[in-house]
Chains A and B, each alone.
Chain A
Amino acid sequence: MHAKFTVAAAALLLTVAHASAIELKVLVPAQYSPASGFIPGSVVHKDLYAKFEAQNPDIKLNYEVLDTGPQGLQKILTQATTNSLPDAAIVDGQWIARLVQAKALQPLDQLWPASDRADFHPAVVEAVSIDGKPYAIMFQTGMRGLLYRPSVLAAQGEKEFPKTFDDFLKLASKLKDKKVVAELVPAKATDEPSTMHMLSIFWGLGGKLVDEHGAPVFFTEENGKALARVYEMYRDLVAKGAMRAEVTTMDEAALRPFFYGHEVFAMGGSSSNVKQIWSEQPDTVNDLAVAAYPMPGSGKPVTILGGFTYAITARDPKKVEAAWKFVSFMTAPAQMGAINEALGQLPVRTSVWSTNGFFSTNPMMVSYKAMYDGPMQTRPVAPIYTTISSAISSQLPGVIAGTLSPSDAVNRARDAVMVEFKRQQSR
């Protein structure tokens, strides 16, 4: 009889506890959730969500899928204006400035211990900070570079990927004789990856997109020259048959058939797609490498850093506390490593690079680590960035087609951005 009462009481307590549990509404892109269409991604998130709920019985996770494109940003901004924000969200790093401007994100400076921040590359923390306050925690990054087959390089009698633009053009000439295009890099207008590929070279040439106040400066003197030089490089690559003009219609995914069909030697791609490439084209598992962009003269490209981040959008202190438990759990080294490995995306914690077997031993990942340890920069955390990105990539088709000179392309991009910048300032 006594035992029955105990069981009943326990059941009642459990029911009450469950009923009084905090329901944490989380907005997440499908690929970073249990709803992921990529099975390993789904499995790892299901496991981690279950583990978190087991460790925190007072918190019940309720996730909703968010688009990773502009519609995702639009959704959160709309929620901010209608006071219907979730409690936590995974947001693209480049949205942070707009979301902070719309008062959608909570600062994490009081929650995120400095000791934990020290495990991240300084550029990673900078990428999520505004006025010195971090607003999110990045949990993965995608590095852009040129993916190629070392066997093709070796067949040309080359030992290593050309480091200078001139050397690359020489290699392109040899490849052209064999009817192989040297390089394809996405150059589609208003496509963010198009800009990201350009930025590595632009930054390597010393260019700056915005000043310390977030005002656009990419067109001024030396910056303008650097951008014009990048446009020139794209134009010259196409003019010399080292790249096809068709890149103006392509995003990263559209390049792959050319690479798979051995029509192109190197393609611009993200580290985040490496596992997919291995899976779609098994012969690349042992014949795929990554190289930094060949640069004019002795310049070195700057690796672009960008990725998705966990942020807190709750306003109620209790929800903020619960959301922080969730965010800190998902971004802890063990969990972050598991997610990164499952999805094949690069870690942003130094400890994960060294302790995770896949990232510390796989040759491809070791190459990425070398890039990670080199010069790395994030896209500016400024509200005008998306307009700049759209404006500079929109000029590529004109430059490549030869209807727009590189300097005119810079001026057109400037005109498009400054109109919007003035409007933003007036708001």
Chain B
Amino acid sequence: MQSTAQTIPLPSSRRRIPRPRLPRVNGFFFFILPGVSFVLSLTLFPALYGIYISLTNLNLGYVGYSFVGLENYGRLLEWDDLGLVTRNTLGFVASVVVLQVAIGLLVSILLNQKLVGHQVMRSLTILPWVLPSVVVGLVFAQIFGGSRLGIANYVLSLFGVGQMSWLADPALAMALLVAVSVWRGVPFTVIILLGGLQTLPRELYEAAVIDGATAWQRFRYVTLPLLKPILMISLIMGTGGALNSLDIPLALTGGGPGSATELFSISLYKQSFFHLDISYGAAIGTVMLVVNLVLIVLYLLVLQPRRSANHD
């Protein structure tokens, strides 16, 4: 009888034992995991949850809540002060962003010059940014208090000027709100733009000087085009900052007198935390989110460097 059994060679110690194959995972996945987790859990989830809440009737004055569809958005459209608050917000954001970027650009160009004491000036310029914005709001409220004990009125009295009701006049209150917000925001713009200016190649300026370009022409045709991406960042951050700004407006004017300086951010705060109407506040927040996104897209479209049609 012939044996059919075959001898199976034993694996030598040098041969690899076959292992089950693990799915191949790119290494970069582990590196981006913390960042992705952070964004998903602390940014995207709250934003989406806020949108969900805006579709309910959650009010902390009541037990339980239910889905109500777009009811809160309907309430928002029927709101008597919608036009006023929209005008206030648009005016405030436009003024703050334009002034902040314009002044910030001017200051950063000045600070980029090798003038005497420019290092000290750079440090001093950043000071308003170091102060907590609530403190800034409260301090300026103290300065522009309408009593003769208010600091601004006291200073005016030294020059024989009568008392002014700074924050009781709607136009003046809005102007002060813009001015204080710009004062607080300019240093941030300066930091960004100064960083950008210092990266611009010197050769281009030297070539422009050789070509006989004036200072204005160097700024217009060299500095500005090269600074566009940085300006875009400043505009996006400035717009977001102004649109979502609550601390200074709340501490300085509280939306008053009446609703003369009420912004969407203040309305959101009042609805959510004064009236405890969380879902309505979430609806306002969602609208603000959409406006933010729209503005960012607009900036990207307008300021993104256009690619040449001819790639040759």
Distance A412 CA – B80 CA, assembled complex (angstroms): 9
Give the contacts of B130-182 with A (CB-CB under 8 A). Answer: 145-150, 165, 167-168, 170, 173
Take A70-B274, A257-B150, A261-B148 as given contacts and tell me if A78 and B60 are in contact as well, using a CB distance cutoff of 8 Å: yes
B145 near A257 (CB under 8 angstroms)?
yes
A249 near B147 (CB under 8 angstroms)?
no
| Interface range, B side | 20 to 34
Take A248-B256, A397-B258 as given contacts and tell me if A257 and B147 are in contact as well, using a CB distance cutoff of 8 Å: yes
- Determine if B56 is an interface residue (Cβ-Cβ < 8 Å): no
- Determine if B17 is an interface residue (Cβ-Cβ < 8 Å): no
Number of interface residues of A (CB under 8 A): 41
Helix, strand, loop or mixed for chain A's interface? Answer: helix
- Determine if B275 is an interface residue (Cβ-Cβ < 8 Å): yes
Question: A74 contacts which of B57, B60, B147, B148 (Cβ < 8 Å)?
Answer: B60
B257 near A102 (CB under 8 angstroms)?
no
B165 near A246 (CB under 8 angstroms)?
yes
B257 near A248 (CB under 8 angstroms)?
yes
A74 near B257 (CB under 8 angstroms)?
no
Contacts of B260 in A (CB 8 A): 397
Helix, strand, loop or mixed for chain B's interface? Answer: loop
Binary flags per residue of B195-228, CB closer than 8 Å to A gives 1, else 0: 0000000000000000000000000000000000
Take A80-B63, A102-B61 as given contacts and tell me if A244 and B273 are in contact as well, using a CB distance cutoff of 8 Å: no
- Determine if A101 is an interface residue (Cβ-Cβ < 8 Å): yes
Give chain A nearest CB distance to B116 CB in angstroms: 43
A248 near B147 (CB under 8 angstroms)?
no
Binary flags per residue of A343-355, CB closer than 8 Å to B gives 1, else 0: 0000000000000
Give the contacts of B58-85 with A (CB-CB under 8 A). Answer: 59-64, 75, 80
Distance A61 CA – B64 CA, assembled complex (angstroms): 31
Contacts of B128 in A (CB 8 A): none
- Determine if A254 is an interface residue (Cβ-Cβ < 8 Å): yes
Distance A404 CA – B59 CA, assembled complex (angstroms): 31
Contacts of A254 in B (CB 8 A): 145
Give the contacts of A21-43 with B (CB-CB under 8 A). Answer: none
- Determine if B245 is an interface residue (Cβ-Cβ < 8 Å): no
Take A77-B60, A98-B61, A258-B147 as given contacts and tell me if A249 and B257 are in contact as well, using a CB distance cutoff of 8 Å: yes
- Determine if B259 is an interface residue (Cβ-Cβ < 8 Å): yes
A248 near B270 (CB under 8 angstroms)?
no
Distance A190 CA – B150 CA, assembled complex (angstroms): 24
Give chain B nearest CB distance to A369 CB in angstroms: 32
A70 near B273 (CB under 8 angstroms)?
yes
A249 near B256 (CB under 8 angstroms)?
yes
Binary flags per residue of A91-125, CB closer than 8 Å to B gives 1, else 0: 00000001001110000000000000000000000
- Determine if B255 is an interface residue (Cβ-Cβ < 8 Å): yes
B63 near A244 (CB under 8 angstroms)?
no
Question: A190 contacts which of B75, B145, B147, B270 (Cβ < 8 Å)?
Answer: B270
B274 near A390 (CB under 8 angstroms)?
yes
A387 closest partner in B (C-beta): B275
B148 near A246 (CB under 8 angstroms)?
no
Give the contacts of A295-340 with B (CB-CB under 8 A). Answer: none
B148 near A263 (CB under 8 angstroms)?
yes
- Determine if B253 is an interface residue (Cβ-Cβ < 8 Å): yes
- Determine if B254 is an interface residue (Cβ-Cβ < 8 Å): yes
- Determine if B276 is an interface residue (Cβ-Cβ < 8 Å): yes
Contacts of A246 in B (CB 8 A): 146, 165, 167-168, 257
Distance A102 CA – B146 CA, assembled complex (angstroms): 42
Give the contacts of A141-161 with B (CB-CB under 8 A). Answer: none
B257 near A383 (CB under 8 angstroms)?
no
B170 closest partner in A (C-beta): A401
User: How many pairs of residues, A versus B, come closer than 8 Å at their CB atoms?
Assistant: 93
Give chain B nearest CB distance to A69 CB in angstroms: 8
A74 near B273 (CB under 8 angstroms)?
yes
- Determine if A71 is an interface residue (Cβ-Cβ < 8 Å): yes
- Determine if A189 is an interface residue (Cβ-Cβ < 8 Å): yes
A245 near B165 (CB under 8 angstroms)?
yes
- Determine if A166 is an interface residue (Cβ-Cβ < 8 Å): no
Question: A244 contacts which of B60, B146, B255 (Cβ < 8 Å)?
Answer: B146
Contacts of B145 in A (CB 8 A): 254, 257
Contacts of B148 in A (CB 8 A): 261, 263
Give chain B nearest CB distance to A259 CB in angstroms: 9
Binary flags per residue of A383-407, CB closer than 8 Å to B gives 1, else 0: 1001100100010111001000000
- Determine if A225 is an interface residue (Cβ-Cβ < 8 Å): no
Take A244-B146, A260-B149 as given contacts and tell me if A103 and B168 are in contact as well, using a CB distance cutoff of 8 Å: no
A190 near B61 (CB under 8 angstroms)?
no
Give chain B nearest CB distance to A83 CB in angstroms: 11
Contacts of A397 in B (CB 8 A): 256-260
Take A70-B274, A390-B275, A397-B256 as given contacts and tell me if A77 and B149 are in contact as well, using a CB distance cutoff of 8 Å: no
Q: Which of B64, B146, B148, B149 has the most CB of A within 10 A?
A: B146
Contacts of B75 in A (CB 8 A): 419
Question: B147 contacts which of A71, A189, A263, A412 (Cβ < 8 Å)?
Answer: A263
Contacts of A427 in B (CB 8 A): 57, 59, 62
Give chain B nearest CB distance to A403 CB in angstroms: 8
A103 near B275 (CB under 8 angstroms)?
no
Contacts of B259 in A (CB 8 A): 189, 394, 397
Take A244-B165, A246-B168, A401-B258 as given contacts and tell me if A77 and B276 are in contact as well, using a CB distance cutoff of 8 Å: yes
Contacts of B147 in A (CB 8 A): 257-258, 261, 263
Contacts of A248 in B (CB 8 A): 168, 256-258
Take A244-B165, A246-B146, A261-B147 as given contacts and tell me if A102 and B258 are in contact as well, using a CB distance cutoff of 8 Å: no
- 13 A-B pairs, CB-CB below 8 angstroms? A73-B276, A80-B63, A189-B258, A189-B259, A244-B168, A248-B168, A249-B167, A249-B168, A260-B149, A261-B147, A396-B258, A398-B258, A401-B257
Q: B residues engaging A (CB < 8 A)? A: 57, 59-64, 75, 80, 145-150, 165, 167-168, 170, 173, 253-260, 270, 273-276
Extra 9 A-B pairs, beta carbons < 8 Å, given A101-B61, A248-B258, A390-B274: A188-B256, A190-B270, A249-B146, A261-B147, A383-B61, A386-B275, A390-B275, A401-B257, A427-B62
Q: A residues engaging B (CB < 8 A)? A: 70-71, 73-74, 77-78, 80-81, 98, 101-103, 188-190, 244-246, 248-249, 254, 257-258, 260-261, 263, 383, 386-387, 390, 394, 396-398, 401, 412, 415-416, 419, 423, 427
Nearest 6 pairs between A and B by C-beta? A397-B258, A246-B168, A257-B147, A248-B257, A257-B149, A246-B146
